[in-house]
Every structure is written in C-alpha cells, then in structure tokens.
Amino acid sequence: MLDIKFVRENPEKVKENIKKKFQDQKLELVDKVIELDKTSRELKANGDVLRSERKKISDEIGILFRENKKEEAETAKQKVNDINAKLVKMEQEEEGLNHEIRKIMLTLPNIIDDSVPIGKNDTENVEIERFGEAIIPDYEIPYHADILEKMSGLDKESSGRTSGNGFYYLMGDAARLHSAMLTYARDYMIEHGFTYCIPPFMIRSDVVSGVMSFAEMENMMYKIEGEDLYLIGTSEHSMIGRFKDQIIKESELPINLTSYSPCFRKEVGAHGIEERGIYRVHQFEKQEMVVLCKPEESMDWYNKMWKLTVDFFRSLDIPVRTLECCSGDLADLKVKSCDVEAWSPRQQKYFEVGSCSTLGDAQARRLGIRAKGENGNYYVHTLNNTVLASPRALIAFLENHYQEDGTITIPESLRKYMGEKEIINLNN
C-alpha cells in the first residue's frame, strides 16, 4: 500500500505507474482518493479547532460556577454540548472517509522499480541468465507421471476418491525423495544463516489482506467455513504476519527466516488442474525464505535471495534460468520480481519452480510493521523467495536425473537424506 502523502505529492507518478501495469481503469481512483483525503484532512482540522474551543469553554465553566455566574455557566455548558454533537457527526464522517480512502489505497499498485521491463503479461517476461547446461539427451524422457508410476510412487486414483482432482498420494521412494529435497532445502538455508521456522498454516483475514491483494486472495485462498481463518497459500503469509503491529529494534534487522509449510491453493483462473500429473495441484509443500530489512538494503537482499535458489538447484545438478517479471505480470504489492525456472529435458523448455520478490514497504504499511531507528520509526521492507516447492521441484529432479537404463541418479548433495542411495532403479 502506498503512502497517501506520496500519492498526494506525486499524482502523475502514481498514474504513470498504473499505466505501466496496464491498469488504466484505476487512473480515476488517484484523483478521487486525493479529493477524499483533502476532505478528510479539512474535517480533522475543523475538528481540532472545535476541540480547542471546547477545552477553552470547559475551563471557563468552572470559573463561572466559582463566581456564582450560573446562568452564564449553563449557557457555556450548552455550547460544549453543541460542540460535542458537531464533533460526533464530524468524526463519523471522517471515519467513513478514511475507510473509503483505505479501500482505494489497497487497490493502487505499488511503484515498480525502474529496472522492471514493461509488458502486459508473463509472455513478455525477460530472460536474465542461464545456469548449467540445458542438455537434451539422445533418449526419450518419460512424462513425470509415468516415471512416478514406474516407481509405484504416485496414486491419483485414490486421491480422486478421497479428495477430488488436484490432489495426490506419493508413495515409497517418490515420497522419500520429495521429503529428502525439502529437508535438504531446510538445512541449506540454515547453513546460509537463516533461522528455521514452522509457522501457523491458517491465518486471519486481516493478515491475508495485509500480505496480498484482494484479487490474489479470491483466486488463491481457501476459507475455513464459519471462522475468520484461511489456509495459507505460502508460508510467507504467516511469516510476515508474525510481525503485525510490531515495532522492531533497528539493531535486530535484517531478520532472515526460512520456513517449511504445506500450501493450499484454489488455482482459480489458472490453466487447469492436470488429470494425470502433479505440476499444478491444490496442495504442495514448500521451503520459503523471508527477509525484513532496512529500505536501503532491500535490493541487495533481493539479489542475494534469488542467487541462493539458483545455487540450491545447481547443487542438485538441475539447470535453471532466471526470468525478470514484466510490469503487467507483477502482483500489485511487488516492486520487482524474478522467477527461477528449471530445465525440462522432456519438454525441451524451462518451467517455473520458484519466485523471488521485493515488496518495498507495502506489506509493512498494511500490517503496521515498523523499525525504531535513531531518527524515529519507519516501515521495514519485506522480501520473499521460494527455496524449493514440491512437487514441481520433484518433477524437475526426476526429468534431469532419469537415465536411459531406467534408473534415476541421486546427486551427492542429496544422498545422506536418501539413506546413502546413489540410484533409484525403476526396473525392479
């Protein structure tokens, strides 16, 4: 959420940013919110005048009573009552205006970084760099669901009976491999100085609206019927929410955390849930990283964070690339974002396995997360990044380690989490 003072002082910059995000329908909201803010501030100023007048008259009432000027004192009391009535009306009007102002401010997109490429949607995202050789083997790589079936590792028929489409059972070595990758991701982040955390898997609506836009919430979140609780779509939600309405000592910054959680997503508006595979599902597991830092440090952390994900996948011998998200592909709260995509030798293209974002002070402003510095309090900057999300990472692993003889190799970095196994033989 933008600062209303910034909008007031920079209306053309806010409008230009809206145009860059191809959300022209929001342009009129800028002038509207500035006018509402003007009226609200006038009401507050008038109210302050009335409060000052009320205090002055109230002080005089005691003097009048002591001087036995009862009639004048009663007249003064009536003036105080009249002022109180006016103030009640004005405060109600001001409260209504402030509610409308906040409602609009929550829909205005954050100011994107100057380095963000301008484009309408994800088809105009820009490749930044490739890491590792994207090999196309001279033998066929089976579809990941077929590999898993050879391992007796995937049961979607049963999950269809228990839960419906978009869910799955992982079995045997497939389940073990899935858990091994997540455990390795946890240890990898701890070794890089992040504090491990397991957060709540449900959060209240005021936290949801603090970490994401309304459109995202509607398309992603599952609501618990009859309660003010939502299942998290990513642990970033509850990790950032942990600091709601808190003032953090500046000496404690940066706060860098890594969290494990299951994630639940409706996937409304997505390209559909696969019948056979596990690429797009309603439930998955994830190792995330979250950072709260000083504003001047956020871009450095952004670059550190996506590089950690790249290095993690390279340690698993999986080629990846980074893709700069264009303006139209950025969620409203984001300042800058890049996707990490893994190589699919079967499809001979890259696919998304993670995303790194800096959100400036948007989430902190919505949730009231501030730091106490030498020159006063200020809103911190928040960042988040996927270390590993499975089963997508599992798909990338299976395809890149599938061998012509029907085995799957296990890189050295993962072996201790797989009982020192070096291969999984699908022919047994």
Beta carbons of 397 and 424 less than 8 angstroms apart = no
Bridge partner residues of 337 (DSSP):
357
* pLDDT above 70 for 110: yes
Based on the domain organization, do 206 and 304 belong to the same domain?
yes
**Distance from C-alpha of 303 to C-alpha of 309, rounded to nearest angstrom:** 10
| Higher-pLDDT residue of 70, 111 | 111
The CATH number covering residue 146 comes to 3.30.930.10
The pLDDT value recorded for residue 273 is 56
**Distance from C-alpha of 265 to C-alpha of 237, rounded to nearest angstrom:** 13
Q: Return phi, psi of residue 91, to 5°.
A: -65, -35
Tokens encoding 322: 């980074």
Q: How confident is the model at residue 1 (pLDDT cuts 50, 70, 90)?
A: confident
Residue 249 counted as domain residue: yes
Residue 31 counted as domain residue: yes
Residue 115 counted as domain residue: no
Residue 402 per-residue DSSP state: B
| 371-424 pLDDT, tens digit each | 999 989 999 999 999 999 989 999 999 999 999 999 999 999 999 999 999 999
**Distance from C-alpha of 216 to C-alpha of 204, rounded to nearest angstrom:** 15
Based on the domain organization, do 292 and 370 belong to the same domain?
yes
Looking at residues 195-206, what average pLDDT do you find? Answer: 96
| 158-167 pLDDT, tens digit each | 999 999 988 9
Based on the domain organization, do 160 and 93 belong to the same domain?
no
The pLDDT value recorded for residue 213 is 77
Based on the domain organization, do 30 and 160 belong to the same domain?
no
Based on the domain organization, do 89 and 175 belong to the same domain?
no
| 344-385 pLDDT, tens digit each | 999 999 999 999 999 999 999 999 999 999 989 999 999 999
Q: How confident is the model at residue 268 (pLDDT cuts 50, 70, 90)?
A: low
Tokens encoding 401: 């380690």
Based on the domain organization, do 226 and 281 belong to the same domain?
yes
Looking at residues 286-313, what average pLDDT do you find? Answer: 98
The CATH number covering residue 40 comes to 1.10.287.40
The pLDDT value recorded for residue 316 is 97
* pLDDT above 90 for 219: no
- Please state the pTM of the whole predicted model: 0.89
Residue 81 counted as domain residue: yes
Residue 420 counted as domain residue: yes
**Cα-based distances in Å from 354 to 66, 110, 129:** 75, 22, 15
Looking at residues 231-253, what average pLDDT do you find? Answer: 95
The pLDDT value recorded for residue 413 is 96
Which candidate, 267, 275, 274, 296, places its Cα nearest to that of 378?
Answer: 296
Residue 76 sits in which domain range? 4-105
The pLDDT value recorded for residue 428 is 66
Beta carbons of 370 and 279 less than 8 angstroms apart = no
- The structural domain count of the chain equals 2
Which candidate, 188, 208, 186, places its Cα nearest to that of 197?
Answer: 186
Bridge partner residues of 352 (DSSP):
341
Q: How confident is the model at residue 275 (pLDDT cuts 50, 70, 90)?
A: low
**Distance from C-alpha of 310 to C-alpha of 318, rounded to nearest angstrom:** 9
Q: What is the mean pLDDT of the chain?
A: 93
